[in-house]
Amino acid sequence: MTKRTRHAAALLSAVLLSAAAGCSAAPGSAPARLSGASAPTGAAGPAAAKGFTLVASGDVLPHTSVIRQAARDADGDGYDFRPMFSQVKPLVSAADLALCHMETIYGEEDGPFSGYPAFVSPPAVADGLKDAGYDGCSTASNHTLDDGADGVRRTLDRFDKAGLKHAGSARTATEAATATTYTAGSAKVAHLAYTYDTNGYPLPDGQPWAVNLTDRATIVKDARAARKAGADVVLVSLHWGTEWQTEPDETQLSLGKELTASQTGGRPDIDMILGTHAHVPQAYEKVNGTWVVYGMGDQVAGEMFNPSGARDMRGNYGSIGRFTFAPPAAPGARWQVVKAEFVPQMMDLPGGRVVNLPASLAEHPGREDYEDARETVTEAVLGRGAAKDGLTEGR
């Protein structure tokens, strides 16, 4: 792993967006309020619009060692992934809307399970995600078809059972054609998800809709359809990029520009892009006025080895994005991100836990491995100048 300079502190200067002060409700209505504030109702009018906080995180990739950890945590009774997420649960559960990325598919309840290269994970992963506070996940990845249509069905069936929504893979054509939506604050939020490839596995016979493949025109069409169906905010998850490359590649840069430039009636068709796949933290950047998270890195993974065969700790580093949305100042305008934050995290393999690094370091200052992880994540996330657009470290 290359040596890193220690200028994280300088990069973490707080730059708060001034837009928060300028956002208000439509003329004649009560002032807009961010999530958590009560919205009074007038005698002759509806409640004021309410903003919301979004939390999004990176790849959940249960290698065999991760599965063994969940078996230990279950104390001989199956698999328990809830302790694995316990240290980020306060952050995730506090959000109005929390989205993860489930990279692998699930097997039968009692297995067999497998790690790399063809992943089949315990269905109990979904219970751990739900317990942590996630509302749903993107499920389109290069591993979505590791066990064919049966793997897709088992995964989404377990999501239903756990009370999680999903975007990016489907069991039926009708499900595939229906955008996943949430209510957050007073906003209707649509979540769309796509993957660059399926590792050479073909789409199941007669099921071309089983997983969404990345295509610019299709993404724009789907986003416009979601908006037409009433979505106030459209989020797009993209499984893209070059593995082990901190800098976004040319496809990420060009597709990000094209998607964020797409508008209908002067309003952007897409309100945010959330990237996964590279296994290492990548930058956040405001492109055409829209936040693009090129890659959040891995949230859950076992020991990771880079293409040279070397153990690479970056594969266990990631970020959680937290964005505060406020209602538009005028009807038909876009919902605005008035606060943008990232929270460095890492998978602590000896402890078998996902760690919120700023929170843990506040309680246990000076731990060198946590400090190194925080510095690496920060340098990657701020590597394309996001601090100047108001991105700050959260906790």
Alpha-carbon gap, residue 221 to 226, rounded angstroms: 9
User: Buried (b) or exposed (e) across 217-236, using 16+ Cβ within 10 A?
Assistant: eebbebbbbbbeeebbbbbb
In the chain, where the domains are located: 49-393
Alpha-carbon gap, residue 236 to 223, rounded angstroms: 8
Query: Phi, psi at residue 160, to the nearest 5°?
Result: -60, -45
Q: What is the per-residue pLDDT for 305? A: 97
Torsion over CA: 321, 155, 94, 179 (sign)? positive
Match domain 49-393 to its CATH number in 3.40.50.280, 3.40.50.720, 3.20.20.80, 3.60.21.10: 3.60.21.10
Asked if 235 contacts 371 with a C-beta cutoff of 8 angstroms, the reply is no
Torsion over CA: 292, 297, 299, 300 (sign)? positive
| Predicted TM-score of the model (pTM) | 0.89
Cis check: omega of the bond before 117, within 30 degrees of 0: yes
Which helix (H) or strand (E) covers residue 195, if one does? strand 187-195
Q: What is the pLDDT along the chain (395 residues), one digit of tens a residue?
A: 443 444 433 333 333 333 333 333 332 333 222 333 333 333 444 578 999 999 999 999 999 999 999 999 999 899 999 999 999 999 999 999 999 999 999 999 999 999 999 999 999 999 999 999 999 999 999 999 999 999 999 999 999 999 999 999 999 999 999 999 999 999 999 999 999 999 999 999 999 999 999 999 999 999 999 999 999 999 999 999 999 999 999 999 999 999 999 999 999 999 999 999 999 999 999 999 999 999 999 999 999 999 999 999 999 999 999 999 999 989 889 999 999 999 999 999 999 999 999 999 999 999 999 999 999 999 999 999 999 999 999 99
Cis check: omega of the bond before 46, within 30 degrees of 0: no
For the chain, where are the alpha helices, taking DSSP H only? Answer: 8-11, 19-22, 64-73, 89-93, 124-132, 148-162, 173-176, 216-228, 250-261, 357-363, 368-381
